[in-house]
């Protein structure tokens, strides 16, 4: 058994029970973004969180144990994603990648935006011309150390 | 000559003149995100915008002409970017890709967030524990057509 | 269990029962193009459609449930397809890709043809020199947003 | 000198002179799709066609000569295209590839749609909800030979 | 079950029964080249042929059914084959690829040799300096359509 | 200067002078297949052959020298060729690769068909249903050595 | 069942029984290099050899049968090997590849060293500064055929 | 200027002057294998060796300087070599890689054969059935350190 | 069964029993770095060490046997790792690779730092600005042999 | 002009002038590791540092300007490095990657070792059995944020 098996069981159970990620997150008491990423095998849960998920998804003790182990991360089967929704994000990196770089360096100097000390919020943005997806990302700026 | 040559000249002139993207954007009268992407060869300028850039970057008439031609997009030399700042964005797609997918589908059903009818805003977010990079993205949701 | 398992069961049942996609589509009441793509794991069905398919392909309740979940899309095992029929379409993108780009931009300006707000129709075109495959594609033009 | 150099000169001259592909095609007397593909280095011109292009694009005699040589085809720099417009066509192959295969085989049996004995027509399709790109493709069906 | 399973069963049964491809082809009444390719999952059989193969390889009814379904073609696990015998053919394409191109274009003009309307014959060629493999290929020339 | 430069000069001169490979081969006194491959940088010429080519293609003494040096072989820019004519040969390897393997082993046992002690002949095959390309390949069988 | 399964059983049995390749080779009466390669699924055994191996590795009749079938060769899971010992050989090809080429051509002219009519011998070479691995390779030179 | 430029000059001068690697090596006083690898940009020369090469290949002072700088090694343009002679060595690694591994570990335990503390000798081996290439390799065995 | 199966069992048992690598290493009496690498399938254990691990992880006799066989090394599923923690090490090689090369050659001349005669120590480094990971690596310098 | 041109000039000038990285670093007043990485195009210099380098390497004003611009990082031409010295570091990531992951998570929990807030020191370690390369790395641990 591995974390992947637990992830697959969570997804299958979610389909079978008709659960929603937002409700799962509410049970955990954290954002739907972080909780969903965790359920999809990208984050590590503590004892209490794992226990809550165990109930929601009918996990065995060993499966619950795996939720507390740091997973091998990376959720995509290919380096360039084939799924159209996920590809659009890859395309943003491809088209705007050098723009991100230029603007962050212009504002902060040499360094990066952390993908670890990072949070995000995804919301529906009502719009008469068609609703929009709004994503607010916030990552700590980490300057390159000189030594 | 190609758009790439014009992009390289813009970058080299910017270095030589010590210009800032924010100032270039102010001259154009649009966001720094869109204008920078355009200067880096990812967007198409109209006559007036191109004329403004021509002055700022000492472009010849032919070079200016290229700014109005739709470019072949994609700003990165490899499919998995090597630059640490840009890689962090790729990592977000890798780690959070399936999360984006689950949450957008949960809210909107089958479809995608457009990377074309899209805008974004990148700001410094002051924070006593270290300033943060804040990025607000907004893309129109496009539902899959049934036919 | 995953959507892939359901797709494989649908294909195997279709072979065993000798069904035709055109007939499956007629039962659903939508085009054979969209319905086939859906049965091959690329589209999402609603309750009624899923129920119809469940009968046709002897699906269990859980299998039927999976038909209503948005799938991870992309139907090919390699980024350059090996199957000769599918490769010819890839070859069209390879040979005519820059032509599509030039002509759409010439007519519409900077933007793309949507692959989401998209429909198509595939028909036999009788021809004394050998019948032809006729494909009519229609995708909404989406202009790049300036901001 | 190679065909690539001629293609680049044609593109650069087109930008400098502000020509349109539709007008170039009218001069040649063939479809804009085939003529554009040829000007982009994917098709072979005869003497008369090459002479017409030589005038339009100020080509030297040697450059004109290259237009009559069968080119090494394939217009894209990477096997998965990065340009968003072209990628959407690649995505259609990825998402609908197996659908094309199933429907063509259902109608015609084992074989392929030719990408050689092939023609297409790309038009604007007026639509109150936003104009659409309409593409009509026609390729001869070639049955697999049994021997 | 998929065609791949049937192919594996055919190969395993052939090994177990000590059959020869030439004999299988004689039973079918077609060339050993086409029949072998079909048994290896690359061609489609009709009812009668499938019935013959079912007897030879002890196939179940469902397995026999799969032989009549057009398979997803491509018989190699990697895009550059590792097997020395098959690699030599890949090497011929690598070394002689541009030669094939030049000579076919010189003789026929722009177009291709069909790999669909194609047949071949592989024979032992006795030779005192060591016997040789002789392969005669014949593919229809297909000219590029002008439109 | 490298062999590649000489190859490019030969191709460019051939275009400019309107030469034919068959005529070049006749001057050399060998097959058009081997001579073309050599001119395209895949074979090594002796003194006399190089001198003949030098006259035909106006080569300098150093360029002529390069024709006698064994080249780094492989004539294609990508491991999966994009050119449709060359791709069809790659497709034959992909679809028929395992068939070549089975039939050669059935006839000869373990070993390979040499791509070095190899010759081929490419001819037009008149046919009322459309002329065909006929290729006769002959390669020495090399048995795997047991030791 | 496939040859791969037989290879895995041979390896597992070797581990369980604590056999040595040198002893297996002695039973067969051939070199340890060829016999090991064969046991690892890269060579083809005759009836007598297969019977000997069947006894040593407790193979079933069908498994034994597979040893006599020419295998699909290539023993590595990735094109650039990750295992440090095997990588060092890959590195020798990478660093010395052009040197092999220059020296063999200087001595023999255009052609190759056969990897089929090939044998090798691997021995421990005692050395006070640390024992060394000594490998003697011998491959027939095959000159490129002119025709 | 880089080491690559010096390598190219050495190769071009060798062609122009008709030098032989064996003679170059004799001038240096070391093996033809090491000296050729060095001239091809894979090894580092000392002052005296560089001076000798400077005379042989008419190198400028700066070019000579580069011969003493440790180069970025790896002599092949692709990870799987296309040149048939070099590919045969790659094939040996592919087919015999796991055999090398098994036999070296059986004799020495866990560790590798060094590709650094390594030497080799390549000779013609006269043989009535056709001369052979003989290569003797000797690399120090390095045991994995336990700590 | 293969070493991979044993590695997976060790990891699963570790999760189920809540063991720590440091404790496992203490039982073996060697460093946590080497022991962890070994348990993850990268090193070879002797009889005594294997027996200790068998007890800790409830291994069968055959599983224990596999621990003493030299494994096929390389612990990552992709050549560019997707896991953020491991990627940072890859990034260090990418960003600092040429720096390692320059500084080691400046100090030692041409050669490498051994990854075989190598050891390392990983520790927490307390720091008021946030604790740090400290890694001390020590590898023998191996000079390139001249011959 | 780009940063790459400046890097190449610095390397060429260093070769021509016979400078040492340690001396360059002493002039800058920072570690040889950081300064070398910067000179190789991976770090950003401030005004004073750039002025010092300008003198040492005879840089023009524009070249000096480039040293202050944040570069596009990644110093290697291929994703798996071919140079043996650099490959050994890649091999350490490949062999020890999962070990790094396990031990850092065991000590710190979920998170990464920063490659940005990072420093290192490379020294010769005298040893009678052969001197060793000693590298001390120190990177801040960054815990994954929960939100």
Q: What CATH architecture does domain A110-147 belong to?
A: 2-Layer Sandwich (3.30)
CATH T-level fold of G3-66: 434 Repressor (Amino-terminal Domain) (1.10.260)
Residue-wise pLDDT for E50-69, tens only, equals 999 999 999 999 999 999 99
- Pick the closest to residue E89 from D101, J105, F118 (CA basis): F118
According to DSSP H, which parts of A1-147 are helical? 3-17, 21-28, 32-39, 47-57, 61-66, 84-108
F50 CB-near residues (< 8 Å, 6+ apart):
F64, F65, F67, F68
Considering only the beta carbons, identify the residue of F16, F82, F84 that sits closest to D116: F84
With contacts defined as CB-CB under 8 Å, which chain H residues touch F72?
82-83
| Element holding D14 (H helix, E strand) | helix D3-17
Nearest C-alpha of chain B: how many angstroms from C33?
A: 8
Q: Where are the domains of chain I?
A: 3-66, 84-143
Pairing type for strands E132-143 and F132-143 reads antiparallel
Q: Do domains C3-67 and C84-143 have the same CATH topology?
A: no
**Residue of chain G whose Cα is closest to the Cα of I69:** G15
Which chains border J (3 or more CB–CB pairs < 8 Å)?
Answer: A, B, G, H, I
A126 touches chain B (CB under 8 A): no
Per the CB < 8 A criterion, the answer to whether C24 and C31 are in contact is no
Nearest C-alpha of chain E: how many angstroms from C144?
A: 32
Residue range A60-74: average pLDDT? 96
CB contact under 8 A, A135 and B130: no
Using 70 as the pLDDT threshold, list the residues of chain J that sit under it.
none
Q: Angle formed by the axes of helices E84-108 and F32-39, to 10°?
A: 100
**Residue of chain C whose Cα is closest to the Cα of A12:** C1
| Element holding F137 (H helix, E strand) | strand F132-143
Nearest C-alpha of chain E: how many angstroms from C8?
A: 8
With contacts defined as CB-CB under 8 Å, which chain H residues touch E91?
84, 87
CB contact under 8 A, J83 and H72: yes
Q: What is the ipTM of this complex?
A: 0.96
Per the CB < 8 A criterion, the answer to whether G75 and H97 are in contact is yes
State residue C132's pLDDT score.
98
- Pick the closest to residue J44 from A106, F133, D29, A69 (CA basis): A106
H5 CB-near residues (< 8 Å, 6+ apart):
H63, H66
How many whole angstroms separate alpha carbon C98 and alpha carbon D38? 11
**Residue of chain E whose Cα is closest to the Cα of H130:** E129
Note which residues in 75-104 of chain G have CB less than 8 A from chain H: 75-76, 79-81, 83-86, 88-104
CB contact under 8 A, H91 and E84: yes
Using 70 as the pLDDT threshold, list the residues of chain C that sit under it.
none
Residue range H32-61: average pLDDT? 97
In sequence order, the β-bridge partners of residue J134 are I138, J123
Cα distances (angstroms) measured from residue E130 to each of F113, F117, G112, G115, J118? 11, 11, 18, 17, 65
State residue F98's pLDDT score.
97
Give the three-class secondary structure for A60: coil
Which residue is catalytic, options D88, D94, D132, D138? D88
State residue E1's pLDDT score.
77
Residue range B89-115: average pLDDT? 97
Nearest C-alpha of chain H: how many angstroms from G70?
A: 13
- DSSP per residue, F68-127: TSPP-----SSSS--SHHHHHHHHHHHHHHHHHHHHHHHHH-SEEEEEEEEEEEEEEE--
Per the CB < 8 A criterion, the answer to whether E35 and E24 are in contact is yes
Which residue is catalytic, options B91, B102, B132, B138? B91
Per the CB < 8 A criterion, the answer to whether D77 and B79 are in contact is no
Residue-wise pLDDT for A89-131, tens only, equals 999 999 999 999 999 999 999 999 999 999 999 999 999 999 9
The dihedrals phi and psi of B97, each to the nearest 5 degrees, come to -55, -50
CB contact under 8 A, B143 and C116: yes
- DSSP per residue, I20-46: -HHHHHHHHTS-HHHHHHHHTTSS---
State residue D54's pLDDT score.
98
- DSSP per residue, G75-108: --SSSS--SHHHHHHHHHHHHHHHHHHHHHHHHH
Which chains border C (3 or more CB–CB pairs < 8 Å)?
Answer: A, B, D, E, F
Considering only the beta carbons, identify the residue of B34, B101, B142 that sits closest to C146: B34
How many whole angstroms separate alpha carbon A111 and alpha carbon A103? 12
3-state secondary structure chain E: CCHHHHHHHHHHHHHHHCCCHHHHHHHHCCCHHHHHHHHCCCCCCCHHHHHHHHHHHCCCHHHHHHHCCCCCCCCCCCCCCCCHHHHHHHHHHHHHHHHHHHHHHHHHCCEEEEEEEEEEEEEEECCCCCCEEEEEEEEEEEECCCC
The dihedrals phi and psi of B96, each to the nearest 5 degrees, come to -100, 0
Label residue I88 by pLDDT band (50, 70, 90): very high
Nearest C-alpha of chain H: how many angstroms from J81?
A: 9
Residue range D27-52: average pLDDT? 98
Cα distances (angstroms) measured from residue E138 to each of D145, E29, E39? 11, 20, 21
Per the CB < 8 A criterion, the answer to whether A57 and A25 are in contact is no
The dihedrals phi and psi of J35, each to the nearest 5 degrees, come to -65, -40
What does the mean pLDDT of chain G come to?
96
Pick the CATH number of E3-67 from 1.10.260.40, 1.10.630.10, 3.40.462.10, 1.10.3720.10: 1.10.260.40
Residue F144 has, within 13 A of its CA and on its CB side, a CA count of: 23
- Pick the closest to residue D125 from D113, D135, D111 (CA basis): D135
CB contact under 8 A, H80 and E80: yes
What count of other Cβ atoms lies within 10 Å of the Cβ of residue H91? 23
How many whole angstroms separate alpha carbon E79 and alpha carbon C78? 9
With contacts defined as CB-CB under 8 Å, which chain B residues touch A130?
140-142
Strand locations in B22-143, DSSP E? 111-125, 132-143
Which residue is catalytic, options J2, J91, J132, J134? J91
Q: In what order do the strands lie in the sheet with I132-143?
A: I111-125, I132-143, J132-143, J111-125
Nearest C-alpha of chain I: how many angstroms from A76?
A: 9
Residue range B10-37: average pLDDT? 96
Residue-wise pLDDT for G96-109, tens only, equals 999 999 999 999 99
Considering only the beta carbons, identify the residue of B80, B82, B95 that sits closest to I84: B95
How many whole angstroms separate alpha carbon F54 and alpha carbon J58? 46
CB contact under 8 A, D117 and E34: no
Residue with tokens 């850092």: J104
Residue F1 has pLDDT above 80, yes or no: no
CB contact under 8 A, G147 and F105: no
CB contact under 8 A, I87 and B87: yes
CATH superfamily of the domain spanning C84-143: Cyanate lyase, C-terminal domain (3.30.1160.10)
Which residue is catalytic, options A91, A94, A102, A134? A91
What does the mean pLDDT of chain E come to?
97
| Element holding H72 (H helix, E strand) | none
State residue A1's pLDDT score.
78
C132 carries an active-site annotation: no
D31 touches chain E (CB under 8 A): yes
CA torsion through residues A111, A115, A116, A118, sign: positive
What does the mean pLDDT of chain B come to?
96
- Pick the closest to residue A80 from D78, I93, C88, G82 (CA basis): D78
CB contact under 8 A, D79 and F83: no
Residue-wise pLDDT for F29-44, tens only, equals 999 999 999 999 999 9
Residue-wise pLDDT for I38-78, tens only, equals 999 999 999 999 999 999 999 999 999 999 999 999 999 99
How many whole angstroms separate alpha carbon J118 and alpha carbon A53? 37
State residue B54's pLDDT score.
98
Residue D1 has pLDDT above 90, yes or no: no
How many whole angstroms separate alpha carbon C114 and alpha carbon I44? 55
For residue H41, is it left (φ>0), alpha (ψ between -120 and 50) or beta? Answer: left
Nearest C-alpha of chain B: how many angstroms from C115?
A: 9
State residue I1's pLDDT score.
77
Considering only the beta carbons, identify the residue of D110, D118, D147 that sits closest to E119: D147
How many whole angstroms separate alpha carbon B138 and alpha carbon B118? 6
CB contact under 8 A, A93 and B103: no
State residue C1's pLDDT score.
77
What does the mean pLDDT of chain D come to?
97
Residue range I1-5: average pLDDT? 89
- Pick the closest to residue G143 from G100, G114, G103 (CA basis): G114
């Amino acid at each position: 058994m591995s974390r992947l098996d637990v992830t697959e069981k969570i997804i299958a159970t979610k389909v079978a029970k008709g659960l929603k990620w937002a409700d799962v997150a509410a049970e955990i008491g954290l954002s739907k973004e972080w909780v969903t990423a965790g359920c999809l095998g990208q984050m590590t849960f503590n004892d209490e969180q794992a226990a809550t998920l165990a109930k929601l998804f009918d996990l065995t003790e060993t499966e619950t144990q795996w939720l507390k182990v740091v997973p091998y991360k990376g959720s995509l089967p290919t380096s360039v994603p084939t799924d159209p929704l996920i590809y659009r994000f890859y395309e943003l990196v491809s088209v705007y990648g050098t723009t991100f770089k230029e603007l962050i360096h212009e504002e902060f100097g040499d360094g990066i935006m952390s993908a670890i000390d990072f949070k995000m919020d995804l919301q529906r943005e009502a719009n008469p011309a068609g609703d929009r997806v709004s994503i607010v990302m916030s990552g700590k700026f980490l300057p390159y150390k000189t030594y």
